[in-house]
Structure 1
Amino acid sequence: MNFLKSAVASAIAQGPPFPYSFGDKVDIDSSIWTLYNGTKREDGSNCSIFSFDVVANKSRLTLAKNALKKLRTMRHPGVIKVLDAVETETYIYIATERVVPLRWNVKRKSLSPETMKWGLYSVARTIKFINDEGSSIHGNLKVGSVYTSESGEWKLGGFEVLSNVKDDDAIIYTYGSLVPDSGRYAPPEVARGGWDSIKKNPHSSIDAYNYGTLIFEVFNGDFVGADQAGQTKGIPPAMHASYKRLVNATPKARITVGAFLQQGQRTGGFFDTSLIKLTDGIDNLGMKSEEEREEFLSDLDSLTDDFPEDFFKMKVLPELLKSVEFGGGGPKAFGVVMKITTKLSSDDFEARVQPVVVRLFGNPDRAIRVCLLDNLPHMIDRLPNKVVNDKIFPHLVSGFTDLAPVVREQTLKSVLVIISKLSDRVINGELLKYLAKTANDEQPGIRTNTTICLGKIAKNLGTASRSKVLIAAFTRSLRDPFVHARSAALMALGATTEHFTDEDCATKLMPAICPSLIDKEKLVRDQAVKTLDVYMQRVRKAASAMPETVLPPPTANEGGAGPRMSTPQPSEASSWTGWAISSFTNKLSAAAGEIQTDAANNSTANPSSLSAPTPPGSARLTPTTSSASALHRQAVKSPPPPSMSRTPSTTAAEAYFKDPEPAFEDEGGDDAWGDMGDMDENDDGNDDAFFDAKPAVSKPTIKKAASPAPFDDGSEPDFAGWLAAQASKKSGAPGGKPLPKGLSKGGAAATTARKPSATVAKPKPKPVVAKKIDTTPKETNDDEDGWGDGW
């Protein structure tokens, strides 16, 4: 075994170099050749290899050599293209373009009628060239001699007996009978008189007859013998008359293949098809005028799916790409390219179309740029992410700053197409910078589309800056003078709620949306209502999940003054202002009466507060100028007598809630209210000064007890605490409720002042009208702003 391997290796080494590798064997009709699929070692490109074994077929060596010679010298688009050949004493190898026997498609009946016409047209042109220009006879025309290339074109082979009629010793006369299946396809005159009979008849007659049998085979399958010649089964009716003249039994009555071709090319003829026109026009597309090119591309764009995909991929597509890039094919040609690429595999697209697309994005032609952007959705799935990021996007962004608005707009729309291919760094860096420019574009449509674009790519933005970018962009668009820009901003806000926090919804977005509720345009107003409803539902849901309060619960031993305002009761919840206003009104009314009574008591209980000594037999009352806060501090800071102790749990606030609305009691109230009219000269007549003025009389020196000091924020009077203290004093008057522990006043002075001696005659005071103190809050012009700020 090792000896045989070394012998084969040495035999190959001794032969001429053949830079192709053999692949699978291909089944073909009876032939002197063995067909293999092959590859070129240098670049791995596909090829086919025709192999002839000299030892096994020595009698047909002349046919093999003639075929090799004619293939090398015959240059025509319809002939198999030879790449290389090697001839030795033991073998002949011919490397050609990759081809497949036509017999395969005929057996599978995979060819459409249009494709069969197109193939027969190509073969007819080749035979006409051989007969007329080459003055030669093919002599072996049949389905087994025709192959299809990778582009789907029909290529003619079988040149074993191809001969020039000018040669007296042409090979066809001597070796015509050695061709496999020659008897089945031989014309009647050859069958009767041999191959020498060709000299007596027109040299084109034998190829005309064999072309007729080829037509029958293509449309019906196998050609068995001469009896089937002239049968029209399966053949298109338009071809019947010309076909019958091809297979006429009399050689001189047959029409040439050239004549058959001419008849088919007439207007309405059997070769007058769009596919055939395409093949004729694609080779010289760059040479056509602009009008001819437009007409050609229009016909090309209207082609149906019945046409061979391989031809479009291998032949039409390269020509169109060259026309777009260099030949002035323009956007229309690129549109046809995109239609063809839908049938390409991913590998074919990457190899044939992708490099051209990348180069076209760098083309400064605006028409080409717009055409690329329009067709980007058709090819984006086939473009790798790296190619889009590194090669296409750097050229694409130049459209954001183009002077033509249509280029800027199409570039903006393309963002939605390529966003899935871009990296996070590109999206959150360079792309957002360009979108910020288009958001301020002079064209309102571009501004509107930028808002729509941001709303649709929101999910692709980085989480760190997403909400900041969207809020800034959308709130700016809400103020856009273009109505559709404002509407687009509202729709984008409604579609991107999940990207904002609850706090952003309540504090930033809802306030920004509210002005749109009274927009001048109904379109915007209606959209604002819908968008605001979405955010209201979001905020309500968030608020329902929040705790009722975050304040710590109050403790029993907590000191200091109580709350300044009563807690709203369920019955007061019907009006959001009812509980606050009613509480203030009631307490202030009660406090007004208590202040006069307490002022009278204090004037008799404290000698130092009198302006002059009291004459015997009379008790003089002077008007008080003490403020509400001063009275409150005196009531709270008065130390309890040693005989009584203050209960810690009883506060001024609790006393207020126990007796929220104490009744007025008449204890010399008429005198007190009468004296209120003679107020101190320092009184400026302002009712508010009643609560804020400092006491005009000197205070007795009182030693402070070691008790917790009440809370005083120093910002405003403690109305609730003051009212509570006054209520407590009121309840401790004669005939009233006992004072809480620690707040009762002892001493004879108080008793004497409260009950004067009966022996002293009390002068009758002058009837005066008590000054009514208006305790209602004053109206101000900025009441609405004040509520807005406080609320």
Structure 2
Amino acid sequence: MNLFKSVVASAISSGIPNFPYTFGDRQDIEGGIWVLQNGQKRDDGSNCSIFSFDINSNKGLLPLARNAVKKLRTLRHPGVIKVLDTVETETFIYIATERVVPLRWHIKRKSMSIETSKWGLFGVAQTIKFINDEASSVHGALRVGSIYTGESGEWKVAGFEVLSNMKDDDAIIYNYGSLVPDSGRYTPPELAKSGWNEIKRHPLTAVDAYNFGTLIFEVFNGDFMGSDQAGQTKGIPPSMHSSYRRLVNSNPKARLSVGNFLEQGRRNGGFFDTPLIKLTESIDSLGMKTEEEREQFLNDLGQLSDDFPEDYFKLKILPELIKSVEFGGGGPKVFEVVMKISKKLSDEEFEAKVTPAVVRLFSSPDRAIRVSLLDNLPLMIDRLSQKTVNDKIFPQMVTGFTDAAPIVREQTVKSVLTIIEKLTDRTINGELLKYLAKTSNDEQPGIRTNTTICLGKISKNLSVGTRSKVLIAAFTRSLRDPFVHARNAALMALAATSESFGEEDCANRILPSLCPCLIDKEKLVRDQASKTMDIYLHRVRKFSSSMADTALPPPATADATANTPRMSTPQANEVASWAGWAISSFTNKVSTAAGEIQPASNGTSVPAARPNSAPTANDVRRPAAGTASASASALHRQAVSSPPAASARTSTSSNTNDYFQDSMTGEDDMDAWGPLQDDSFFDAPSEAPTKVASSVAPSAANPFGDDGEPDFAGWLAAQAGKKPGSKPLPKGLAKSTSNTNRPASVGRAATTGSVSGIAAKKTAGTVSKPKPVTAKKIDTTPAATDDDDGWGEGW
């Protein structure tokens, strides 16, 4: 009391109230003694309402204002408006309360449904029953003007100007009851006839029962204009008619008390037996309910429509549901209701009420909760900040990629599409791809398929340096998946992400992988493969049409013939097959060779012409001492063993000499081919064993003397010996000899399958004359064709 006096004294001395609240917009109250304004608490900025009473203007009503302050401070009930602070100055009385809105506003706007109105009346009835029964008091001024709605939408009772305890002999209601504004409209008939002292001779509940009846009429019809409207049932729900009439009975002793009215309504099938009211009664004990009771509660909650009070769900139901999910074992079904209610929250409200709970729930080990979170993630992702998702939710969510339960892994993969826009590039191209690589090899085919779909849809979020490498590897591997839908998903993903790859990747890596799908056992895959193949072929063809006709340098001049390549570009008449134009180009070069063998540098002459008789096979195969063994190269054997094909014929053997003479000028140009053993184009059949050519001697059964491989040099010698006047073998096709002055590049060590090496420099030495040998005759079918040069049609 002393504190209150000191506050008042301080307010009077300063001229303004010592009130830790700021005043906001004014909300007029019709027919009341108070002026209602919005306010805020200075300490934390929380919302409140401020009731102001101007003492100078309403001195006659000052006892009513002071009685209201006293009763509001002492009477505590959930249905009574909550008082935060009060202060009285010389000129004003201020009451700071929770933020409220006059109920009259909602009634004028007709913004409440019948079920919401029943729910509000149910709360008011509980409060009046408490005032009458437990507090032994009479409200005395119950009407629409004394009811407010809080931020939660609940109806709150105020208007305690004449609230009196009937045990007090000098209760204020006896003397000031008639001073309440508009009391003439709401005064019960017996009091209007005999005065307020008549209360003592009638039941304590009689006055408030009559006023509660007039309140019901106003809620469903608007303003109550007088006692002649009492008992009218227009607009009132039919289930409430009988009890309502008993409330406004003209005989106070026959009136139904508010408590009895409440009991009748709560009976099974009664007017207060509604899902919303049941929810209100059971929400506080949700965490302590059994599984069956919780299931019934959720069923009742599911029956609620969208026209029920949103504020009550946001401020009362939602916090209780979140607590039930986190600590009370509410489970996924309760969380789904949380998400349904949170749709109506503003972003600020969601951030304050739901986001912290969602972050905590992602760390829960309960798989059912995790799946529910992932299922409902699309409903809340727009409300979650990027920092929250990337730093708090995703680190907890990744445990689902490796969870033992397939449903958790699958839902986690699906949720990537939802959160991808909230993740940083570092997280996407690092940790996320690492986990998707694991799920792409999952034992469950559905998870593998969904991973492929996921990669296709997030391709635009991958970095440029990572995109092509990761997607091609993932999709081409999925093309070989035994699960048909995984293969189909890979084809669809490739079709959707075709612009992510370069033309070289399309031609070299993707198209070859698509080809097997064209003959897949499943028509679904074949059809999609055909569509995808068309997309990539169109890209490659479009790109190739913009390429230059050739990448070869311009033709060399006559004095630069030493560096020209051995194989020319195929002509139009030489492209019947790849082998045809390759070999014909080779023979054309041979036919252009002309001239004679030049003497060695040491003065020793090289024979100008080969003898008509070819050397024996043994001489051809025997390597000279001090030199590498030589045999026919892979190119020679390939040419001999090839079937005859239509090609340009060589006219003279002198042209052949010119080809090889040109190729041997300067440094040995064989180095330009590179490692021929790696190129199957020029290799002999891969199954031929690798042997030194000189290790096998020729025989009658084996005329080539090298285990089936043709003796190219011997065969040429035999062909030259068939006809008189045949020219010597071209340089490079003669046998190798030891201790010669010929360039080292002429002698070549060779194996059956490939050319092993070529000398890089020419060395000087003595030339030893070849021993005369008898050529071995070989039947070169067809013999009917008489070729002057002996090459035949094989080239």
Partner of 2:757: none
Partner of 2:184: 183
Aligned counterparts, 1:83-98, within 5 A: 83-98=84-99
Cα offset, 1:498, TM superposition? 0.5
- Alignment partners' CA distance in 2, 1:480 and 1:271: 62
Unpaired segments ≥5 residues, structure 1: 1-7, 599-605, 612-621, 640-681, 703-711, 716-767, 779-791
Partner of 1:550: 551
Aligned counterparts, 1:465-476, within 5 A: 465-476=466-477
Change (3 A) 1:9 1:190: closer
Partner of 1:36: 37
Aligned counterparts, 1:737-748, within 5 A: none
The 3-state SS of whatever aligns with 1:140 is coil
Cα offset, 1:482, TM superposition? 2.8
Residue identity in the other structure for 2:502: T
Q: Retained in 2: the 8 A contact 1:52–1:92?
A: yes
Cα offset, 1:83, TM superposition? 1.4
The 3-state SS of whatever aligns with 2:268 is coil
Residue identity in the other structure for 1:441: D
Among 689, 710, 732, the residue aligned to 2:713: 689
Matched, 1:203 2:204: yes
Partner of 1:502: 503
- Alignment partners' CA distance in 2, 1:18 and 1:562: 102
Partner of 1:762: none
- Alignment partners' CA distance in 1, 2:284 and 2:173: 34
The 3-state SS of whatever aligns with 1:283 is helix
Among 772, 775, 778, the residue aligned to 2:792: 775
Partner of 1:317: 318
Q: State which drifts further: 206-215 or 230-239.
A: 230-239
Cα offset, 1:610, TM superposition? 9.5
Partner of 1:259: 260
Partner of 1:477: 478
Residue identity in the other structure for 2:499: E
Partner of 1:355: 356
Q: Retained in 1: the 8 A contact 2:24–2:40?
A: yes
Cα offset, 1:634, TM superposition? 4.8
Residue identity in the other structure for 1:487: N
Residue identity in the other structure for 1:256: S
Change (3 A) 1:20 1:558: same
Cα offset, 1:522, TM superposition? 3.6
Change (3 A) 1:270 1:493: same
Q: Retained in 2: the 8 A contact 1:568–1:579?
A: no
Partner of 1:460: 461
Q: Retained in 2: the 8 A contact 1:72–1:82?
A: yes
Partner of 1:375: 376
Q: Retained in 1: the 8 A contact 2:704–2:711?
A: no
Change (3 A) 1:317 1:581: closer
Change (3 A) 1:699 1:261: closer
Partner of 1:279: 280
The 3-state SS of whatever aligns with 1:49 is strand
Aligned counterparts, 1:624-639, within 5 A: 631-632=654-655, 634=657
Change (3 A) 1:385 1:692: farther
Q: State which drifts further: 323-332 or 400-409.
A: 400-409
Cα offset, 1:80, TM superposition? 0.4
Q: Retained in 1: the 8 A contact 2:653–2:727?
A: no
| Identity over aligned pairs, percent | 64
Cα offset, 1:287, TM superposition? 2.4
Q: Retained in 1: the 8 A contact 2:10–2:18?
A: no
Change (3 A) 1:10 1:300: closer
Cα offset, 1:330, TM superposition? 1.3
Unpaired segments ≥5 residues, structure 2: 1-8, 597-605, 621-635, 637-649, 663-702, 732-744, 749-782
Cα offset, 1:518, TM superposition? 3.1
Cα offset, 1:476, TM superposition? 2.0
- Alignment partners' CA distance in 1, 2:468 and 2:607: 72
The 3-state SS of whatever aligns with 2:93 is strand
Q: Retained in 1: the 8 A contact 2:38–2:48?
A: yes
Residue identity in the other structure for 1:150: E
Change (3 A) 1:286 1:503: same
Q: Retained in 2: the 8 A contact 1:139–1:161?
A: yes
The Cα offsets for residues 133-183 of structure 1, whole Å up to 9 and x where unpaired, read as 222111000000000001111100001111112222211111111111111
Aligned counterparts, 1:197-346, within 5 A: 197-346=198-347
Partner of 2:146: 145
- Alignment partners' CA distance in 1, 2:209 and 2:657: 135
- Alignment partners' CA distance in 1, 2:531 and 2:114: 60
Change (3 A) 1:686 1:171: closer
- Alignment partners' CA distance in 2, 1:377 and 1:610: 89
- Alignment partners' CA distance in 2, 1:266 and 1:770: 119
- Alignment partners' CA distance in 1, 2:607 and 2:392: 100
Residue identity in the other structure for 1:452: I
The Cα offsets for residues 96-153 of structure 1, whole Å up to 9 and x where unpaired, read as 1100001111111111111111111111111111112222111000000000001111
Change (3 A) 1:714 1:200: farther
Cα offset, 1:555, TM superposition? 6.1
Partner of 1:653: none
- Alignment partners' CA distance in 2, 1:80 and 1:548: 90
- Alignment partners' CA distance in 1, 2:252 and 2:704: 144
The Cα offsets for residues 440-475 of structure 1, whole Å up to 9 and x where unpaired, read as 222222222111111110000000111011111112
The 3-state SS of whatever aligns with 2:465 is coil
Change (3 A) 1:461 1:565: closer
- Alignment partners' CA distance in 1, 2:406 and 2:56: 75
Partner of 2:601: none
Task: Please give the root-mean-square deviation of Cα atoms over the aligned residues, in Å.
Answer: 3.8
Change (3 A) 1:521 1:714: farther
- Alignment partners' CA distance in 1, 2:746 and 2:280: 97
Cα offset, 1:565, TM superposition? 6.5
The Cα offsets for residues 613-668 of structure 1, whole Å up to 9 and x where unpaired, read as xxxxxxxxx557899998546557999xxxxxxxxxxxxxxxxxxxxxxxxxxxxx
Q: Retained in 1: the 8 A contact 2:83–2:97?
A: yes
Aligned counterparts, 1:382-461, within 5 A: 382-461=383-462
Q: Retained in 1: the 8 A contact 2:570–2:582?
A: no
- Alignment partners' CA distance in 1, 2:532 and 2:660: 58
The Cα offsets for residues 393-431 of structure 1, whole Å up to 9 and x where unpaired, read as 111112222222221211111110000011111111111
Partner of 1:719: none
Q: Retained in 1: the 8 A contact 2:377–2:415?
A: yes
The Cα offsets for residues 655-690 of structure 1, whole Å up to 9 and x where unpaired, read as xxxxxxxxxxxxxxxxxxxxxxxxxxx997957436
Change (3 A) 1:450 1:714: farther
Cα offset, 1:251, TM superposition? 1.2
Change (3 A) 1:542 1:27: same
Cα offset, 1:478, TM superposition? 2.2
Q: State which drifts further: 275-284 or 459-468.
A: 275-284
What TM-score, normalized by structure 2, do the two folds share?
0.74
Q: State which drifts further: 329-338 or 392-401.
A: 392-401
What TM-score, normalized by structure 1, do the two folds share?
0.74
Change (3 A) 1:126 1:415: same
Q: Retained in 2: the 8 A contact 1:566–1:583?
A: no
Aligned counterparts, 1:648-687, within 5 A: none
Change (3 A) 1:638 1:342: closer
Q: State which drifts further: 16-25 or 216-225.
A: 16-25
Change (3 A) 1:770 1:163: closer
Cα offset, 1:57, TM superposition? 2.2
Residue identity in the other structure for 2:435: Y
The Cα offsets for residues 321-370 of structure 1, whole Å up to 9 and x where unpaired, read as 11111121111111001001111111111121111111211222222111
Change (3 A) 1:510 1:147: same
